[in-house]
Every structure is written in structure tokens, then in C-alpha cells.
Amino acid sequence: MLSYVILEWNWRTVTLAILTLSLSVTALLHLLKHHRDHRSAAFWVALILLSPLVGACLYGLLGINFVRRKGKDYRGSIGPAYRDPLPACPNFPDADPVTAERDCSLAITLDRISRFHFTPGNQVEPLINGDEAMPAMIQAIQSARTSITLSSYIFEAHHIGADFVQALTAAHQRGVQVRVMVDDAGTRYSWPPVTRILKKNGVPVRRFMPNRFILRLLTMNLRNHKKILVVDGHTGFTGGMNIREGNMISRSPSHPVRDLHFRVTGPVVAQMQRVFAEDWYFCSHEVLDGPDWFPEIPAAGETHALGIVDGPDEDLEVMPVALFAALNAARERVSIMTPYFLPTTILMAALKLCATRGIQVTIITPAKNNIPFVAWASRTLYPELLESGCRIFESHAPFDHSKLLLVDNTWSCIGSTNWDPRSLRLNFEFNLACRSPSLATRLQTIFEERLKECTEVTLTTLQSTPLSHRLRSGFARLFIPIL
């Protein structure tokens, strides 16, 4: 009997050892062949070697990009998405010759990075918090005549979300073509999910990547983080704001969230519509085309704007390159506002180089984050930035979810992308690069108003941090590649 137990135990041990070795070798081979980020690769190699079975399983769940979307069929039906790689410089009539040459260089760079061209004649209006943004969006939906497209990461079904459901349902019932898309993970923030309610009301709605069980685990990190609303093909809204009651600051919600959103009119709205249409085709195989979706759009303002799409497919790492180009073009000032500040090594180097060149670099990020682990890791990056001359400020409650990059009182980058690995590498994102002195001045004013409510972080502040907190942050830093 004892010998039988020993044999059975040995057999299980050998089986487990073979399984562990097989999984570990497979994970390492895949990692060495496919992984492009050396910091992330080093993290996974260490984890797999130190904990072979657990590390290999975690790599399979969190470290592999299982999505390779190809939009050739759709793009063939609406025209090529990637165009002339040598765009002409936009005309910036308000710039002096030196500034015009510098702006032209950045415009051409961003034009080559993005799949779209810069478009003149746009109007971009900042909307502060849900108190300004949500009513404006609902009013636009209520006034729709032909079409509505709405994409959101989180869309709660209750409170302000219920107002959206009512407006979308009413629009559908009066004959407006309505399409709604919500990320699968984002539907789980309220119950019942908004997709179920909209479907019951007859509104065409899709969940982005609605996988279940194991498939959902494999794609849990690949989220459609875009926020796009386009009404009648010519009025758009985009930025970083989800459809949640927490954004309605004036209503004193239990978890208030500050944020910025933007109303957009002019030709660049067609780019926003095309981005939604590509995602909708991916989810439903329905082609959105024709004047109801893509009407002729007249000029509406003086802003030159360009849509930048980023995601873990054919648009991989587009946004980090665009941010690097914008930082490299800075000559006077860089202002950054982000809820999650974990920039890549290259962006860290660009920020330090900006400060070394004498450029005023100011960063605002929350003092108390809704994801504490991210905040702990973020603090470990502060010293090298402060030593190079960057200034870092932490904003106090309510939590600030705003995303903003301002360069030289001229350029603005707005949209859904955070300065963290998840947003820069894993999520599907959409942003607008805008060249407009008046817009940049308005946003810089908002930035400086927020700055007055912040506390500056200094090297002295960091040195006085309790040892337990520094150890905690140091541990969190080990996981930056997958945060």
C-alpha cells in the first residue's frame, strides 16, 4: 500500500513537473519571439523563472495580445484609411515664419503617424465635468434628425445614464438611425447592463468583445476605451468622460469624478465617425456609409485637428509615438494632466529632455488615486523627473480623471488616452491633436485653475515619506509593465 502511494505521488509529481516545464518553455519562446517592450519582457522572464507554473499561466492571461483586428474589408468599402505618406504642410495663417515652420514640422509628423490628415476649419469647445458635458450630449441626441453613433467604455444604466437611455430610445422611435457600442467590461459597472435595456427598447447596440469565461480572461486587458458621440454626422463629442453619475459634481454623487470632455464641429468629425464605424463593423459586420453617416461638413472654426487612433492591433503604439513627437517639438512649455501617470521609458526620457532644454514641464496627477497600486508605482518615477527640472503637482479630491497635453500655447492633445502602459499599449483609444492658439490658451487657463488647488511634490516631500510607504511603492513599481 505504501509503495502504491509513493508511486502515485511520484507520478503526480512527474506529471506536474512536465506540465510546468512545458508551459514555462512555451511561454518563454512566445515571449522571446513576440514581445516588443523590453521592460515588460524582463518582468515576465523573471516571473516565469521564479515561479514557472504561476508565471506561465499569468503570462498567458495578461501578457499576450490575442487580438489582431484587420479592417481591410471595411476600409475597402469606405475608402482607404492610410493615405499619402507625404502630406503637405497645413496652412497656419496666424503664425509668424519661425513658428509656422516649427508647427508645420510637427503637423507633418503627426499626419504621418496617424491614418488621417489634418483638417482645417474645426471648432473644439471644452466642457467641464458632467454638469456641462452630459446635458450638452443629451440635447444633441434629442435634436438628432438622421443618425447617432455612441461609443463609451463605461455606460451606467441609472441616474444620468437613464437620461441617455431615454434620449436614445426616443430618437430611435422617431426614426433616427441609432448605433450604440459599449465595452464588455464597461457594461459591468451597473446592473442590469445598459446594453440589455437598450436592446429591449429596440435600439441597435453591441458589446465590444463580449467573450465569456476563458475567452474573456484572455482578452480582459484589451478594452475599447474610446469615448465618441457623433450626431447627424456633423456634431461630435469626445474626451475622457464615461457616462456615469459620478461625473455630475453638482449632484454630490457618492464618488465624484472631475473630467473634461469636448464638443467638436467641423470636418474632423468625419474622422470620429469613421473610427466608430470601423469598431461597429468589427462588432456587427454592418457597414455604416452614405450621407446619413458621412454628410458634407462645412468649416466651423479656426482649429486644425487630426484624429489619432491607438490600439493593440494595427494601430499598436501610435499614441506613444505621437506624444513623443509633441514633446520633442516643445520650445517653451509642456502641461500634462492625467489620472494615471506611468509613462514609458521613452516618454520619461522625453520629459526629462524637455526640462533639460529649459522647457517648463508641469504635471498634474491625483494625490489619491482610485487605483492605489498605480499611485504607489507612479511615485517611484517622481525623483528622476524632479531632478531634471520637471514640476509635479498632486490634485486633491474629487478624483480628477481629466486627460490633457498642452504644448507651447498652440498645441493640444485631448481624448481618452492615459499616460500608463494599459492605455498606451493595451486599450483601443481615440484622441484629437489640435493646433489652435485660442483653444490652447483656454485649456491652459483651466489647467492653471486646477493647479491652484494642487500640492506640489518636491524631493524633500519624497524624502520625508515613511519607509513603509517607500517599500510599498517600490514593490508596486515592479508591476509597472502590466499596470
Task: Give the separation between CA 32 and CA 44, rounded to whole angstroms.
Answer: 10
Task: Give the separation between CA 110 and CA 322, rounded to whole angstroms.
Answer: 6
Task: Give the separation between CA 305 and CA 263, rounded to whole angstroms.
Answer: 13
Q: With the C-alpha atoms ordered 169, 174, 175, 177, is the resulting torsion angle positive or negative?
A: negative
Give the residue from 406, 389, 375 showing the smallest Cα distance to 477.
375
For the chain, how long is the longest CA-to-CA vector?
A: 92
Task: Give the separation between CA 76 and CA 392, rounded to whole angstroms.
Answer: 46
Q: How many CB atoms within 10 Å of residue 3?
A: 7
All domains in the chain, ordered by first residue? 2-63 (no CATH), 72-89+120-303 (3.30.870.10), 318-482 (3.30.870.10)
Question: Cell digits for 91?
Answer: 496652412
- Average pLDDT rounded to a whole number, residues 119-129: 96
Burial class (CB in 10 A: 0-12, 13-18, 19+), 266: buried
Q: What is the pLDDT of residue 271?
A: 95
Confidence tier at 385 by pLDDT (50, 70, 90) = very high
Confidence tier at 71 by pLDDT (50, 70, 90) = very low
Confidence tier at 133 by pLDDT (50, 70, 90) = very high
170-215: pLDDT as tens digits: 999 999 999 999 998 878 788 889 999 999 999 999 998 776 655 5
Question: Cell digits for 360?
Answer: 517648463
6-61: pLDDT as tens digits: 545 566 677 767 777 777 777 777 767 666 666 667 777 777 777 777 777 777 76
pTM of the predicted structure, to 2 decimals: 0.84
Residue with grid cell 465624484, as numbered in its chain:
256
